[in-house]
Amino acid sequence: MTEHYQHRARKRFGQNFLHDAGVIHRILRAIHAKPGERLLEIGPGQGALTEGLLSSGGMLDVVELDLDLIPILKGKFDSNPNFTLHQGDALKFDFTSLNPAPNSLRVVGNLPYNISTPLIFHLLENASLIRDMHFMLQKEVVERLAATPGGGDWGRLSIMVQYHCAVEHLFNVGSGAFNPAPKVDSAIVRLVPHATLPHPAKDQRLLERVVREAFNQRRKTLRNTLKALLSGEAIEAAGVDGSLRPEQLDLAAFVRLADKLHEQTTVAPAH
């Protein structure tokens, strides 16, 4: 019996390897990759999804940080001409270096909890290159991504991701599907960048700022949390009730507030 080199999951990379064949099949079915498509897998681990993605006939780039996994991945997949491995940190990876056509890149990943939010924001900076994203994330993160206004899950992450993407919470995955089993349940989410933004802001950075300020003290009213940026009158002028709490506002209302701030900060040119 040949001895297989066993890689132990590393805590510092937040690694939990997917091993449940039923779950793997279900994820691959949801992605439904086709021949010739440009696929990007972030954190392939030991290649549980990689194999199925390659068998679709797509062109697959993978980004893996853990040096110990590189020989395992190369050993399994290097002979496939459609497989390209990049050793490095996905948070610093330049997605434009893959030279994808606009709206062509299909991104897949079982993302460690500690990098999931910054990585999603890093990808959204390149939203024009991306056709869709399928991620395995901690279930509570998926609930926040897919949240609607009015509940405790609705916040900065929901608003800024939904500004760019349609979000679909596909299905949940129990901790038993992983080795080692994490202490939390996971879920699969599909993010599809909007072809046309439903509520485009005049300045996206101002939208981020308004949302961040508003949710810094989510129990307080907007009049209180936004007072450094907008007066009560300016909030009302944007068609927003200043006595509401931030979680009661939808994306469109936040965009109106950001545009009001933009109006204030854009001084009319002197004649």
Residue 215 token pair:
């949710």
* CATH, domain range 204-265: 1.10.8.100
* CA-wise closest residue to 246 among 210, 200, 271, 270: 210
pLDDT tens for the 271 residues of the chain, in order? 333 444 555 554 455 677 788 888 999 999 999 999 999 999 998 898 999 999 999 999 999 999 999 999 999 999 999 999 999 999 999 999 999 999 999 999 988 778 899 999 999 999 999 999 999 999 999 999 999 999 999 999 999 999 999 999 999 988 777 777 777 889 999 999 999 999 999 999 999 999 999 999 989 999 999 999 999 999 999 999 999 999 999 999 999 999 999 999 886 565 6
Cβ pair 62, 86 in contact under 8 A: yes
> Which CATH architecture fits 11-193?
3-Layer(aba) Sandwich (3.40)
Give the pLDDT confidence score for residue 15 in this predicted structure.
57
In angstroms, rounded to a whole number, what is the distance separating the alpha carbons of residues 263 and 31?
A: 42
Task: Give me the residue spans of the domains in the chain.
Answer: 11-193, 204-265
CA 86 to chain centre: 20
Cβ pair 66, 15 in contact under 8 A: yes
User: Residue ranges for the binding site for S-adenosyl-L-methionine?
Assistant: 16, 18, 43, 64, 89, 110
In angstroms, rounded to a whole number, what is the distance separating the alpha carbons of residues 254 and 194?
A: 18
User: Residue ranges for the binding site?
Assistant: 16, 18, 43, 64, 89, 110
* CA-wise closest residue to 83 among 105, 68, 62, 104: 62
In angstroms, rounded to a whole number, what is the distance separating the alpha carbons of residues 136 and 18?
A: 10
Rg, C-alpha atoms of the chain? 21
Task: Look at the block and give the residue holding tokens 């001084």.
Answer: 267
**3-state SS, one letter per residue, for 198-239:** CCCCCCHHHHHHHHHHHHHCCCCCHHHHCCCCCCHHHHHHCC
Task: Tell me the CA distances in angstroms from 85 to 15, 28, 77, 114, one per residue in order.
Answer: 18, 20, 9, 23
| CB atoms closer than 10 angstroms to residue 257 | 27
Q: Which residues contact 227 (CB under 8 A, 6 or more apart)?
A: none
Exposure pattern of 207-220 as b/e (b: 16+ CB <10 Å)? bbebbebbbeeeee
Instruction: Report DSSP letters for 178-193, one per residue.
Output: EESPPSS-EEEEEEEE
Give the torsion sign (CA, 27, 92, 99, 161). Answer: positive
Give the pLDDT confidence score for residue 266 in this predicted structure.
84
Write the DSSP symbol of residue 95. G
Give the pLDDT confidence score for residue 3 in this predicted structure.
37
Give the pLDDT confidence score for residue 92 in this predicted structure.
95
